[in-house]
Structure 1
Amino acid sequence: MVRVIAIAGLLVALIAAVVFGPHYLFSTDARDSADGSAPACDLQAGPCTWKNDAGQWSVAITSVGTGNQGTEFRLSVTAPTHPGRFLAVLRGESMYMGEYPVPLKQAGDNRYTAQFTAPFCTSGSGMQWRIDLQSGEDPVGRAPEKLTFWAR
């Protein structure tokens, strides 16, 4: 009887390691801390700014109204460099709903903007999104905090 319980416990542990292990072993987001929770900067509370080797960065988001597909947002980024194929990639923070690349257009020397509607979750009251800045497929800017906002 003890042997059966021990074998069942080992099987459960093995299945848990196979299911949850890759997330912890092969995390590709270098900004996440060891426990998986980097601090967040709520873009709807105000602009998020930081400085790195390239210079000063600033990201802000504003709601510009409600369209047929939900709330429309305007994203503004001030970057010290001119990234080629500059994108803001939306990733579900409160629930995984895929990745949505939003192309940023140059609106001045170091300013970039985009207007978009974030997908929303139909099973809840809102969806928290994270924005990662990329040049093509390469991360750019490396914000020390997660850039987040809510779509309702």
Structure 2
Amino acid sequence: MNLAQSQLQSARDAGAADYAPVDLGFAQSKFQQAQAAMASRKYEVAAQLADESRADSELARAKARLAAARAQIQQKTSDNDRLRQQIEQAHAHDNDPPPPISMPAPADSTGLPAAQPMEDLPAPSSSQLSSPQDQGQGTQTLPDQTLPDPNHQGGQL
């Protein structure tokens, strides 16, 4: 009964009264029936009705969350359309063509943006590279480099 009551409250908190009123009504009705069955000491019936109430509450909550997400998407789409119109109007007054709208990179099979080709970078100059090691000489040591004083407050070293 406590779990069913908790799920019912969770559905209400998710906005099921606005977005999934029928499913929320079913959940509330079954919960009330479960309470009546408990009062009549019909515990098996009460447990069954509480489970049905919990399931209906979960459905109402999922539908409410989906509907809220759709409403949010619709609002953002409307806002984007309005902004595009404002940009087009501003550029129409300038007699300039509107700037191209960049689209996101196409997704690959994983749903992630496809990898973009990387620029070739120049190799470091030979003065920065040491000669290759011969086999069996062990590790290569780097020349000593003076590290800046961590207590130094700027300026030249």
| TM-score bracket, shorter-length normalisation | under 0.3
Name the structure where helix makes up a greater proportion of residues. Answer: 2
The higher-RCO structure (CA 8 Å, 6+ apart) is 1
Q: Computing the radius of gyration over CA atoms, which structure comes out larger, 1 or 2?
A: 2
